[in-house]
Chains A and B, each alone.
Chain A
Amino acid sequence: MKHEDYKEMLAAAALDALDAAERRTLDAHLATCAGCRIELEELRAVTALLVYQDVPVAPPAKLRARLLAQLKSTPQTPRVGGGALIPANGAPVGDTTGAATPVTATNVLPFAPAPRMLFGARPRVVFATLAASIIIAALASTLAVLWAQNRRMQTDLARLTQNLHETQQTLVSVRADRELLAALDTHTTALAGTDVANGARARITYDERTGRAVFVIAGLPAPPPGKAYQLWFIADGKPLPGHVFNTDTSGRAEVREQIPPQGRHAQIFAVTLEPQAGVSAPTGQIYLKGTT
């Protein structure tokens, strides 16, 4: 098959419209052709946009609540062994050592019987043997140093990548807070403690457009064992579940929340005491309540 033939398969591949056999043929080619891989990725970006040809349909609020509740029990898969990093950068390194080993081997072999004939040999041979040994020793130690250095750099890289991820994470939440502050549709509602939590008070700041919210609580005693507090958004009389949280020993908590679209025009915010895992409809007593 010519390269042009593979290129002609890319559009259908981006639409997953190739037959299984064609797909396998193309996959084999993609493994060795970066140009085609890039073009396929570009065409996929275009096909992904076809999703806009369709009419959006709002999913029910309970689907969102169920999904978010399921996250707690769904483990995340870490990236397999650093993913792209190892095959891309690791292969050439492997090749070098792979090539170096036979070279050393062929270099060593002729000199292997050397100790036996060292004394009987001519000075020139002895010198050559010594020189070769020194060179080999030097090469070996250089290799060891490079290997150690490589290991160290890999550890450093892993640590830096970790740092970078943590920084990105912080950046995302800081940016979210900043967006919340800067948004024109940001509202603040104060919540007061009910009879069961006299000294408690709270404040929720939320962006009606994006649903981002920061909820700050003070003076709410730590929940009894097995229990936790849960936040509710009550819109048109219907309570939508929010985050489950605990307060610290000083009765404080800060909760970041993403309010579901149906709850963004909530008239009432409330906090109830619920089982630790949270519930989809309130069952416990109200501890904090605020009306917009």
Chain B
Amino acid sequence: MRNKLLLLPTAYCLLPTAATVSSIEQAQPTSDTELLHAIARGDELSLATLYDRYSAILLGLMLRILHSRPEAEDVLQEVFLQVWRRAADFDEARGRGFTWLVTLARSRAIDRLRSLDARGRAATAAQREVQEETADAADDVLHAEQRAIVLAALAQLPAEQSRALLLAYFDGLTQSEIAAHLQQPLGTIKTRMRSGLIKLRELLHEQMQTARLML
């Protein structure tokens, strides 16, 4: 009798624990890597899922780089068709699905930018930097946490370092072009970029582990 009484609370204690564990497991969505593998096998639904997950972020990137809604939408479509065609090339041993997708998207946009305007880019970069984004911002609850972490990390970098990084990232400028644009010696720009990116890696490293920054 006494044994039974002792057992009961133990069983009650176990129940919620088991429930919590399984709900955490359920909350984990299909990873980008799994989606890319499924896309490589011709699964259209997985492509649609990947699109729903990242199209708003990537369209934001396209607009920031290209400053033209029709061009941005066109490149966005091109990028996802490319993902469909080349998903088999994605090798998870070499990096994350998210990195693969964003790298592909950005290089497509930069290619388009360079083909659109080879000369005027550096000259208008300054203008673009201050230009306020007026496009209809999407309600991006899915990535709000990631955004907050990245913005906080960027805010911790010295302004001239983050400026060099963002000029390269969003304006597709090379080191020499940034040096000319900011009227700084090339060596200074190289150092800023390198120190900035390495500092950013340190700042984001911990967060990446804890906050599942990339699925």
Contacts of A210 in B (CB 8 A): 29, 49, 52
Per-position contact with A for B99-119: 1 when CB-CB < 8 Å, else 0?
100110111001000000000
Give B29-87 interface residues, CB cut-off 8 Å to A. 29-30, 34-35, 37-38, 40-49, 51-52, 55-61, 63-64, 73, 76-77, 80-81, 84-87
Does chain A have a CB within 8 A of B197? yes
Query: Is the CB of B94 closer than 8 A to any CB of chain A?
Result: yes
- The yes or no answer to B122 lying at the interface (CB within 8 A) is no
Q: Does B129 make an interface contact (CB < 8 A)?
A: no
For the residues of B in contact with A, the DSSP-based class is helix
Are B138 and A172 touching (Cβ within 8 A)?
A: no
Could you say which residues of chain B place their CB within 8 Å of the CB of A261?
52
Within 8 A of B (CB), among A39-67: 41-60, 63-64, 66-67
| Contact indicator A54/B91 (Cβ below 8 Å) | no
Does chain A have a CB within 8 A of B121? no
Chain A nearest CB from B176 CB (Å) reads 6
Given A12-B190, A16-B168, answer yes or no on A79-B89 (Cβ-Cβ < 8 Å). Answer: yes
The answer to whether B88 and A77 touch across the interface, beta carbons within 8 angstroms, is yes
Q: Which residue of A lies closest to B176 (CB)?
A: A19
- Interfacial residues, chain A to chain B (CB-CB below 8 A): 8, 10-12, 14-19, 41-60, 63-64, 66-68, 70-71, 74-79, 83-84, 165-166, 168-169, 171-173, 175-176, 178-179, 182, 210-212, 256-258, 260-261
Q: Which residue of A lies closest to B198 (CB)?
A: A11
Classify the secondary structure of A's interface with B: helix
What are the residues of chain B within 8 A of A176 when measuring CB–CB?
A: 30, 45
Q: Which residues of B contact A (CB under 8 A)?
A: 23, 26, 29-30, 34-35, 37-38, 40-49, 51-52, 55-61, 63-64, 73, 76-77, 80-81, 84-89, 91, 93-96, 98-99, 102-103, 105-107, 110, 133, 135-140, 143, 146-147, 149-151, 154, 165-166, 168-170, 172-176, 178, 190, 193-194, 196-198, 200-201, 204, 213-214
Contact A56 B143 (CB under 8 A): yes
- Asked whether, in the complex, the Cβ of A11 is within 8 Å of the Cβ of B38, the reply is no
Interchain CB contact under 8 A, A57 and B46: no
> B165 near A60 (CB under 8 angstroms)?
no
Q: Give A12 to B175 CA distance when docked, in angstroms.
A: 7
| B residues in contact with A168, CB < 8 Å | 34, 37-38, 41
Contact of B55 among A12, A42, A55, A59 (CB under 8 A): A59
Least Cβ–Cβ distance between B132 and chain A, in angstroms: 10
Task: Apart from A75-B85, A258-B45, list 12 A-B contacts with CB within 8 A.
Answer: A15-B193, A17-B173, A46-B200, A47-B103, A50-B166, A64-B48, A76-B42, A76-B84, A169-B41, A171-B34, A178-B26, A258-B52
Cβ contacts A to B, 28 pairs, < 8 Å: A11-B198, A12-B168, A12-B174, A17-B174, A17-B193, A43-B201, A44-B103, A45-B99, A46-B204, A54-B60, A54-B64, A55-B133, A55-B137, A57-B60, A57-B135, A59-B73, A67-B80, A67-B81, A74-B81, A75-B85, A76-B40, A76-B85, A79-B88, A168-B34, A172-B30, A173-B45, A176-B45, A179-B26
Do B73 and A51 touch across chains, with their CB atoms under 8 A apart? Answer: no
- Residues of A contacting B146 with CB < 8 Å? 49, 52
What chain A residues lie within 8 Å of B172 (beta carbons)?
A: 16
Of chain A, the residue at the smallest CB distance from B178 is: A17
Residues from chain B with a CB closer than 8 A to the CB of A175 are 30, 34
Min CB gap A258→B, angstroms: 4
| Given known A-B contacts A77-B86, A175-B30, A258-B49, A16 and B107 have beta carbons under 8 A apart | yes
Taking the nearest CB of chain A, how far is it from the CB of B20, in angstroms? 14
Q: Which residue of A has the minimal Cβ distance to B105?
A: A51
- Are B47 and A52 in contact (CB-based, < 8 A)? no
Say whether B30 contacts A46, CB under 8 Å: no
- For the complex, what is the distance from the CA of A89 to the CA of B139, rounded to whole Å? 47
Contact B42 A172 (CB under 8 A): no
- Name which of A16, A17, A74 has the most chain B CB atoms within 10 A of its CB: A17
User: Do A56 and B42 form a contact, CB below 8 Å, given A14-B197, A18-B174, A168-B34?
Assistant: no
**Which residues from A are CB-within-8-Å of B178?**
17
CB distance from B211 to the nearest CB of A (A): 11
A166 to B213, CA, bound (A): 28
B177 to chain A, nearest CB (A): 8
Chain A residues near B45 (CB-CB < 8 A): 173, 176, 256-258
Report B50 CB to chain A, min CB distance, Å. 10
For the complex, give the distance between the alpha carbons of A222 and B42 in Å. 25
Minimum distance in angstroms from B149 CB to a CB of chain A: 8
Q: Is the CB of B99 within 8 A of A54?
A: no
B143 adjacent to A52 (CB under 8 Å) = yes
Question: Given A53-B150, A70-B81, A19–B95 Cβ distance below 8 Å?
Answer: no
